[in-house]
Chain A
Amino acid sequence: MRGTQVKTLFWLQTGACGGDSLAILSAEAPSFEQLLLSYGIELLWHPSLSHAPAKRFDALIEDIASGSQKLDILCVEGSIITAPRGTGLFDSYKGRARMDIARSLAERAEFVVAMGTCASFGGVHAASPNPGDCTGMQFNRANPGGLLPAGWRSRSGAPVINIAGCPAHPHAMTQTLAALAEDMPIALDPLNRPSAFFSMLVHQGCTRSEYHEYDIEDAQLGGHACLFFNLGCQGPLTQAVCNDDLWNGVSSKTRAGVPCFGCTAPNFPREADLFTTAKIGDVPLRLPMGVERARYMAYKNLARAAAPQRVKDKEMDV
């Protein structure tokens, strides 16, 4: 262990479904319990796992606010609910808006980590018409500035670290926490996501990619082929490790024939039929990241003509 001191961690749930808390329990390298047992992280509070009575929560938020309890890592799970009319009282704790608790803890934390797309960008609760006036900790969808302004920095000088994903990938969560425990530097992308987990595309490593190469596409769910042209797959546009570091150690949505819905992106869930690919003529409106439209079509036509029979016949299992 490089980090020499015990690091305190406080996990706050705001407008959440608990999915990130459940997902993190699936991490294996390291597991959540390993972080506590051998990485020197002291869990001050987790709403589902702490066994102290709730009044300990009250005391902790007071002590952290007053500075008598140090806070190294604040994890926030869930959208920040600001309704009605900016009061935040649609998500209250003993009459106090939870968004105020989130803000006051963030002011004291060395690092603030948004666990999941909700806390990062607003997520599913912020989808139109956004009934709870939900936003993220430091982004509102793709726009800088959420509960906290764009220029805000935690005590360590870092912005809110966004572990996007609905839910966040288990290892994106525990490996980031392990890095914080060990004082490793964490490079962030323009959306303040740790680059280590958000530079690959979901498309990389998808077992359907040979079908994609030869432009053999399914028109219905339940098949073997690629889901990009018809079924709304966002894999070639979505940065996440899902097809490299498999979920629960065994699979990914696209491997299971479920289109990637782009859940690590700030616009998740997009305002569209999620199982359909929007097209201009025959061509998807949104092409794989960085691809030029004219070249893409030329290449696809060639590829389809060159497809081997086993691919055309969709003989390969995925």
Chain B
Amino acid sequence: MARLELNVSLNRVEGDLEIAVALEDGVVAEARTIGTMYRGFEQIMIGRAPRDSLVITPRVCGICGTAHLYSAVLALENAWRLSPPPNATRIRNLCLMAEGLQNDLRQTFLFFSPDFCTSRYAGEPWFDEMTAMFEPFRGAIYLETLAMTRRLVEIVAHFGGQWPHSSYMAPGGVTLPADLRRISACRAVLQEAQRWYEQRIVGAPLDRWLALDRAEDYLAWLDEPLHAASALGALTRCARALGLHRAAAGTGHMLSYGSWRDPLESSPGAGASLLRSGFYDGDAGSVAQLDQELINEHVRHSWFRHYDGGRHPWRGETVPNYQPGGDRYSWAKAPRYGDKAVQTGPLAELLIGGDALIASLHAMEGGGAWLRQFARVRRIAYEFFYAQRMLDELAAEPHGEHFTPPAGSSEADGDGFGLVMAARGALGHWIAIRNGVIERYQIITPTAWNASPRDSAGLPGHWEQSLVGVTVKDPDDPIEIGHIIRSHDPCLVCTVHMLDTGGKVHFGA
């Protein structure tokens, strides 16, 4: 048996990622995902005014700053027992949906699809079609995606002043109300983008596409001329021809914090969501109610000072201990739900949230790289649907409150958490405020779940599991690993962790 150790670096993901894989006769026998970058975000938060989290934490990630802002504001509202007025929640949701649309389109058509246009596939029957659509800076869909995503983030700019990196959500609401001008402008953008999605991406009107609810019907749909000629139709045929629907299921357990808050059912920092939250138990095949107390993080295989088992983020500790060469191999911690390694992202979100088509496809052939990517394109339909609904509700009540000023000494001490579904999955912020300043801040990003290293029990994280069994044809160009990892929409800048400075860092021997 030929064993080959391979170190793969991946571009076209946000941030830097290295993966160490062991190939046995060309098949991945073992994988380790390595977070190679460390900025110490949570450390910067310590001692600052609580509201500074609204400025600092969106800068964790350039592609999902709105989601970080939303988590940060929910954590503060949870700590300070504040509930925003309904219109504030509508505006927050709308902006998060716009950011999600931007992400889902860019991730699919700028990051994932170009892999099918590389020379390796020049002989494949679908190569010319994929290249015509997705070749960087040449393909038709690629260029249209650049133009359309540029429009979509205007929605965030209308309410937040700019995208990326603004701080327009504040404890108590948002800084700007909806008005006739903003509502009309956002509606125009959404309508234009939705028409493009219907015509070019799925080849069907939104309601018909959302009504499709059975796997067989979708597979039959692939032959319908409009869908067949669409970007998703082409992508699906090609990905399935490569077997990506049978590859890389990873862990069967999934996590969703619930998509978008219900404007009418909010409690401080939380409340109901428009698509429900939960934990999908892959063994039982059922969804259990979410319990954030079950979340913990392990550091056994990360470059941090050891503690036993896992710790909830409120009790978390992150003292770096950089020792390359041993059995610790990543700056990412290992988050677990109870003792389970989970995956998160649009597949988890829609399966738990109750999308019938995703549930049917998942039941028929399990999860895999194609279904994960397919779920991301499917989620776009929900983002359009609910964004329009948010605008309708704002239009019906344009003079409703957008901000409830927190009473007097609002910045009291306390603990809070904020959980949202970011574009890439479950994002949580945990804050502890003491003496009026931040004493602790912990962030668990979606990529931290997916890119988790092994935990105290030696259990590999989701990517590490999903790579096992994958055949790599050319170790010099391990494109199969690219397909699989990119189907998760990885964001390595997100594997943030707190860092102490100077003397406590051990480097080398």
Cβ–Cβ contact B51 & A132, under 8 A: no
Does A93 interact with chain B (Cβ within 8 Å)? yes
Closest to B40 in A: A131
Cβ–Cβ contact B9 & A256, under 8 A: no
CB within 8 Å of B: which of A240-263?
A: 242, 246-258, 261, 263
Does B11 interact with chain A (Cβ within 8 Å)? yes
Which of A42-50, A67-75, A148-156, A171-179 contacts the other chain?
A42-50
Does A3 interact with chain B (Cβ within 8 Å)? no
> What is the CA–CA distance of A16 and B493 in the complex, to the nearest angstrom?
7
Cβ–Cβ contact B166 & A256, under 8 A: yes
Contacts of B167 in A (CB 8 A): 253, 258, 261
Does B337 interact with chain A (Cβ within 8 Å)? no
Known: A50-B12, A53-B479. A258 touches B40 (CB 8 A): no
Give, as a whole number of angstroms, the nearest-CB distance from A173 to chain B: 13
For B148-179 the 0/1 string (1 means CB < 8 A from A) is 01100110111111111111101011111001
Does B439 interact with chain A (Cβ within 8 Å)? no
Does B309 interact with chain A (Cβ within 8 Å)? no
> What is the CA–CA distance of A251 and B117 in the complex, to the nearest angstrom?
37
Cβ–Cβ contact A132 & B499, under 8 A: yes
Contacts of B160 in A (CB 8 A): 251, 253, 256, 258
Known: A222-B402, A258-B160. A19 touches B12 (CB 8 A): no
> What is the CA–CA distance of A52 and B166 in the complex, to the nearest angstrom?
33
Does B221 interact with chain A (Cβ within 8 Å)? no
Contacts of A242 in B (CB 8 A): 162
Cβ–Cβ contact B9 & A19, under 8 A: no
Give, as a whole number of angstroms, the nearest-CB distance from A51 to chain B: 4
Cβ–Cβ contact B11 & A50, under 8 A: yes
Cβ–Cβ contact B168 & A49, under 8 A: no
Give, as a whole number of angstroms, the nearest-CB distance from A226 to chain B: 13
Cβ–Cβ contact A55 & B49, under 8 A: no
Cβ–Cβ contact B161 & A258, under 8 A: yes
Cβ–Cβ contact A51 & B136, under 8 A: yes
Cβ–Cβ contact A131 & B18, under 8 A: no
Does A297 interact with chain B (Cβ within 8 Å)? no
Contacts of A91 in B (CB 8 A): 16, 36-38
Does A287 interact with chain B (Cβ within 8 Å)? no
Does A196 interact with chain B (Cβ within 8 Å)? no
Which of A31-39, A137-145, A180-188 contacts the other chain?
A31-39
Does A220 interact with chain B (Cβ within 8 Å)? yes
CB within 8 Å of A: which of B34-72?
A: 36-41, 43-44, 48-49, 51-52, 54-56, 59-63, 65
Known: A90-B37, A127-B56, A166-B59. A22 touches B137 (CB 8 A): no
Cβ–Cβ contact B161 & A131, under 8 A: no
> What is the CA–CA distance of A15 and B499 in the complex, to the nearest angstrom?
14
Closest to B322 in A: A84
Contacts of B37 in A (CB 8 A): 15, 81, 90-92
Contacts of B479 in A (CB 8 A): 53
Cβ–Cβ contact A51 & B117, under 8 A: yes
Which of B225-233, B259-267, B368-376, B500-508 contacts the other chain?
B500-508
Contacts of B36 in A (CB 8 A): 91-93
Does B295 interact with chain A (Cβ within 8 Å)? no
> What is the CA–CA distance of A269 and B58 in the complex, to the nearest angstrom?
13
Cβ–Cβ contact A22 & B62, under 8 A: yes
Cβ–Cβ contact B322 & A252, under 8 A: no
Cβ–Cβ contact B136 & A50, under 8 A: yes
In which size bucket is the chain B interface? 35 or more
Cβ–Cβ contact B507 & A167, under 8 A: no
Closest to B44 in A: A127
CB within 8 Å of A: which of B120-154?
A: 135-137, 143, 146, 149-150, 153-154
Cβ–Cβ contact B14 & A18, under 8 A: yes
Looking at B176, B179, B322, the one whose CB has the most chain A CB atoms below 10 A away is B176
Which of B107-115, B200-208, B453-461 contacts the other chain?
B107-115
Does A157 interact with chain B (Cβ within 8 Å)? no
Contacts of A273 in B (CB 8 A): 48-49, 51-52
Contact of A33 among B143, B501, B505 (CB under 8 A): B143
> What is the CA–CA distance of A26 and B153 in the complex, to the nearest angstrom?
8
Cβ–Cβ contact B161 & A252, under 8 A: yes
CB within 8 Å of A: which of B178-226?
A: 179, 185
Contact of B158 among A18, A47, A130, A250 (CB under 8 A): A250
Contacts of B39 in A (CB 8 A): 15, 79, 81, 125, 131-132, 134
Contacts of A37 in B (CB 8 A): 137
Cβ–Cβ contact A256 & B40, under 8 A: no
For A106-145 the 0/1 string (1 means CB < 8 A from B) is 0000000000000000001101111111100000000000
Contact of A250 among B8, B157, B166 (CB under 8 A): B157
Give, as a whole number of angstroms, the nearest-CB distance from A181 to chain B: 16
Known: A19-B59, A50-B11, A91-B37. A274 touches B174 (CB 8 A): no
Does B477 interact with chain A (Cβ within 8 Å)? yes
Give, as a whole number of angstroms, the nearest-CB distance from B154 to chain A: 5
Does B10 interact with chain A (Cβ within 8 Å)? yes
Cβ–Cβ contact A93 & B49, under 8 A: no
> What is the CA–CA distance of A105 and B419 in the complex, to the nearest angstrom?
41
Contact of B161 among A79, A81, A254 (CB under 8 A): A254
Known: A247-B163, A274-B52. A167 touches B62 (CB 8 A): yes
8 closest residue pairs by CB, A with B: A131-B40, A19-B62, A222-B403, A256-B161, A257-B175, A247-B162, A248-B157, A18-B62
Q: Which residues of B contact A (CB under 8 A)?
A: 7-16, 18, 36-41, 43-44, 48-49, 51-52, 54-56, 59-63, 65, 106, 110-111, 114-115, 117-118, 135-137, 143, 146, 149-150, 153-154, 156-168, 170, 172-176, 179, 185, 322, 324, 402-403, 405, 476-477, 479, 482, 493, 498-501, 505, 507
Q: A49-B136, A273-B49 are in contact. List 10 more A-B contacts (CB 8 A).
A: A17-B62, A25-B149, A83-B505, A94-B7, A220-B403, A221-B170, A247-B161, A250-B158, A252-B162, A257-B161
15 A-B Cβ contacts within 8 A? A17-B65, A20-B62, A33-B143, A47-B11, A48-B14, A49-B12, A131-B40, A132-B38, A133-B501, A167-B165, A221-B405, A222-B170, A252-B162, A257-B168, A317-B179
